[in-house]
């Protein structure tokens, strides 16, 4: 019953696509359990590069069944265009399963996301503008539209009416926008129904049966720990639970079924959108990390904010997710620095603080306390084992492991599938 959760240990974009894809060959099911097309994975297979937003990375591994769980929010137009894009490149997508309980991101959710951000002005979250927050808000407010609703026209009509009742008042009276017609939305949604039908399934039943049959199931988190609605840097977060518990609710499996929780950890730190980021760099080092690491959003094309590794955050991720392992990514990006600063604690109002402060105001004022680690200049992209790494790179990894509180079981030394050092097997 090997059930693994793979999630971002920082603010997302840690390189999960590479990790899921690496495991993909030996995994029977890859399941997304939260988020939507706000995520972005780049997966490199041979000389082909794939950018996935909504589909689980396992879609690229023949033999693996990709699953969109009940906790995901699905924009049908994005899903269908992602599928046809892959089909045009010869990728077989016929095994995909979508939970009938997953919620749909409607066109009005996207409109509301954009209008709300504009109204927030300088207080904006910096969302991806994909309608994620409004779709989850509708879910919690019990006016959401689910995938299964596409197959009952009268229910769909009633639900869209209920959802637009209040929204149209807000759009017209508060935001000075035109009202959205119920018929237009219903027609649009019904237009997707037939194309999606072959994929819709009772994914909770299928996944639990798979676990009973000893299949390997990988739960793939979107975004990252610090973007979690409960455990992240609220309100500068996404509207779902990327942390490990989210895999249980978002896929319908009990916590006793999860055997391993792997945190993807970048060898430095990045963040997209607004919100606190203690180790952020505004100098040429930050620019160099962005350039060498290719730190530009797969989904939005926005430049990522870059900074040094933050061990306080890594320790926090270990705790809130119950991490059993780390997958350290992009170590090669740090090649060439004479010394590499690592944040080991914060200074807040003159006091040294070792753990993430629970108070948002304190976190906003946190100044990083750095320890300098010696760098390396050798090319590490061909390293196959830990021993192949230069001594200073080995020491950097060991120091991170000690500070972060879980073993580093794999290290990424380049973007390609094969450019990974496996220390402990994940299966
Ligand atoms: P939303 O998820 O579009 O609502 O955006 C909320 C916040 O999460 C913003 O700061 C986004 O930049 C951030 N965000 C959402 N998805 C990702 C991701 O996949 N990687 C990194 N940041 C993300």
The CATH number linked to 183 is: 1.10.300.10
Q: What is the pLDDT of residue 52?
A: 87
Task: Confirm whether 103 is a catalytic residue.
Answer: no
pLDDT of the residue at 25: 77
What's the 63 CA to ligand 1 centre distance in angstroms? Answer: 31
Q: Which of 215, 227, 321 is nearest to 2 (CA)?
A: 215
pLDDT at position 325? 97
Distance CA 410, CA 121 (A): 42
Cis peptide before 265 (omega within 30 of 0): no
Say what the pLDDT of residue 415 is: 85
pLDDT at residue 124 in the model: 92
Closest-lying ligand 1 atom to the alpha carbon of residue 130: 3
- Please check the confidence at residue 162 and state whether its pLDDT lies above 70: yes
Structure confidence at residue 42 (pLDDT):
75
50 plus 146 within the same structural domain = no
Question: Which three-class secondary structure state does DSSP give residue 297?
Answer: coil
- pLDDT of 169 > 80? The answer is yes
143, 168, 198 — which closes off a domain? 198
Q: Is residue 409 part of a domain?
A: yes
Q: How far is the CA of 14 from the centre of ligand 1 (A)?
A: 13
d(CA 138, CA 20): 30
| pLDDT(24) > 70 | no
Are both 193 and 211 inside the same structural domain? no
Check whether 410 has a pLDDT greater than 90: yes
Return d(Cα 141, Cα 139) in angstroms, integer. 5
Choose the final residue of a domain: 176, 198, 220. Answer: 198
Residues 372, 237: one domain? yes
Establish if 98 belongs to a structural domain. no
The DSSP H or E segment spanning 154 is: helix 153-169
**Predicted confidence band of residue 249 (pLDDT cuts 50, 70, 90):** very high
Is 96 domain-assigned? no
- Do both 291 and 334 map to the same domain? yes
Average pLDDT on 19-25 reads 73
Dihedral (CA of 226, 231, 237, 238) sign? positive
Judge if 180 and 328 occupy the same domain.
Answer: no
Residue 29 has pLDDT above 80, yes or no: yes
Residue 97 lies in a domain: no
Between 15 and 197, whose confidence is greater? 197
Q: Would you say residue 384 lies in a domain?
A: yes
pLDDT of 417: 76
Q: Are residues 51 and 13 in the same domain?
A: yes
Question: Could you give the number of structural domains in the chain?
Answer: 2
Q: What is the pLDDT of residue 16?
A: 83
Residue whose entry in the numeric block shows the structure tokens 């807000």: 170
Is the residue at 68 inside a domain?
yes
Instruction: State if residue 130 touches ligand 1 by the CB under 6 angstroms criterion.
Output: yes
Q: Distance (Å, rounded) from C-alpha 320 to C-alpha 203?
A: 26
Q: Which atom of ligand 1 is nearest to the CA of 36?
A: 2
Distance of CA 150 to the CA centre of its chain: 27
Catalytic residue list contains 395: no
Same domain, 243 and 186: no
Ligand 1 centroid – CA 393 distance (Å): 31
Same domain membership, residue 312 and residue 241: yes
Residue 73 Cβ inside 6 Å of ligand 1? The answer reads no
Return d(Cα 10, Cα 368) in angstroms, integer: 16
> Are the beta carbons of 269 and 11 closer than 8 angstroms?
yes
Residues 13 and 111 in one domain: no
169 and 285 share a domain?
no
Atom of ligand 1 nearest to the CA of 38: 16
Rounded Cα distance, 300 and 415, in Å:
20
pLDDT at 214 over 90: yes
361 Cβ neighbours under 8 A, 6+ residues apart: none
More confident residue, 361 or 49: 361
Helix, strand or coil for residue 278? coil
Side-chain half-sphere of 270: how many Cα atoms within 13 Å?
30
In a domain, 49, yes or no: yes
Percent of the chain topping pLDDT 90? 86
190 and 219 assigned to the same domain: no
The domain containing residue 240 runs over which residues?
3-91+203-422
| 52 assigned to some structural domain | yes
Higher pLDDT, 67 or 301: 67
CATH number of the domain to which 62 belongs: 3.90.170.10
- The contacts of residue 427 (CB under 8 Å, 6+ apart) are 2, 4, 23, 26, 216
For residue 414, the number of C-alpha atoms closer than 13 Å in the C-beta half-sphere is: 12
Distance CA 42, CA 48 (A): 10
Query: What average pLDDT does this structure show over 58-70?
Result: 92
Mean of the per-residue pLDDT values of the chain: 94
Q: Are residues 107 and 227 in the same domain?
A: no
Pairing status of strand 48-52 against strand 103-104: unpaired
Confidence band of 20 (pLDDT split at 50, 70, 90):
confident
- Residue that is last in its domain, among 198, 230, 262: 198
pLDDT tens-digit profile of 264-291? 999 999 999 999 999 999 999 999 999 9
């Amino acid at each position: 019953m090997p059930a693994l959760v793979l999630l971002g240990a920082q603010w997302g974009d840690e390189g999960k696509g590479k990790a899921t894809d690496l495991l993909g060959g030996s995994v029977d099911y890859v399941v997304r359990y939260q988020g939507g097309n706000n995520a972005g994975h780049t997966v490199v297979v041979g000389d082909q590069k794939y950018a996935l937003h909504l589909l689980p990375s396992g879609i690229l591994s023949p033999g693996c069944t990709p699953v969109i769980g009940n906790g995901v929010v699905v924009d049908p137009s994005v899903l269908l265009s992602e599928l046809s894009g892959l089909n045009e490149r010869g990728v077989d997508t016929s095994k995909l399963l979508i939970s009938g309980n997953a919620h749909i991101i409607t066109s009005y959710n996207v409109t509301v996301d954009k209008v709300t951000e504009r109204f927030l002005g300088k207080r904006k979250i910096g969302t991806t503008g994909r309608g994620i927050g409004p779709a989850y808000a509708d879910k919690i407010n019990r006016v959401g539209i689910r995938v299964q609703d596409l197959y009952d026209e009268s229910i769909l009509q009633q639900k869209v009416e209920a959802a637009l009742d209040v929204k149209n008042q807000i759009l017209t009276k508060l935001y000075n926008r035109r009202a959205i017609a119920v018929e237009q939305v219903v027609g649009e949604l019904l237009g997707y129904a037939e194309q999606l039908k072959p994929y819709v399934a009772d994914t909770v039943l299928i996944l639990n049966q798979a676990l009973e049959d000893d299949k390997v199931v990988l739960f793939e988190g979107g975004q990252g720990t610090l973007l979690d609605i409960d455990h992240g840097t609220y309100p500068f977060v996404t509207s779902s639970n990327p942390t490990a518990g989210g895999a249980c609710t978002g896929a319908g499996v009990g916590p006793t079924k999860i055997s391993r929780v792997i945190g993807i950890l970048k060898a430095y730190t990045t963040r997209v959108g607004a919100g606190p980021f203690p180790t952020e760099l505004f100098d040429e080092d930050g620019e160099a990390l962005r350039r060498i690491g290719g730190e530009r959003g797969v989904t939005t094309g926005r430049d990522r904010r870059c900074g040094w590794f933050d061990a306080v955050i890594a320790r926090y991720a270990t705790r809130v997710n119950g991490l059993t392992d780390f997958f350290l990514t992009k170590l090669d990006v740090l090649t060439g620095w004479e010394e590499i600063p690592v944040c080991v604690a914060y200074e807040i109002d003159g006091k040294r603080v070792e753990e993430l402060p629970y108070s948002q105001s304190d976190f906003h004022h946190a100044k990083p306390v750095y320890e300098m680690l010696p760098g390396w200049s050798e090319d590490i992209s061909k390293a196959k084992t830990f021993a192949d790494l230069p001594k200073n790179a080995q020491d950097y990894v060991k120091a991170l492991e000690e500070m972060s509180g879980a073993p580093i079981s794999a290290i990424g030394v380049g973007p390609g599938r094969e450019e990974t050092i496996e220390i402990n097997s994940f299966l």
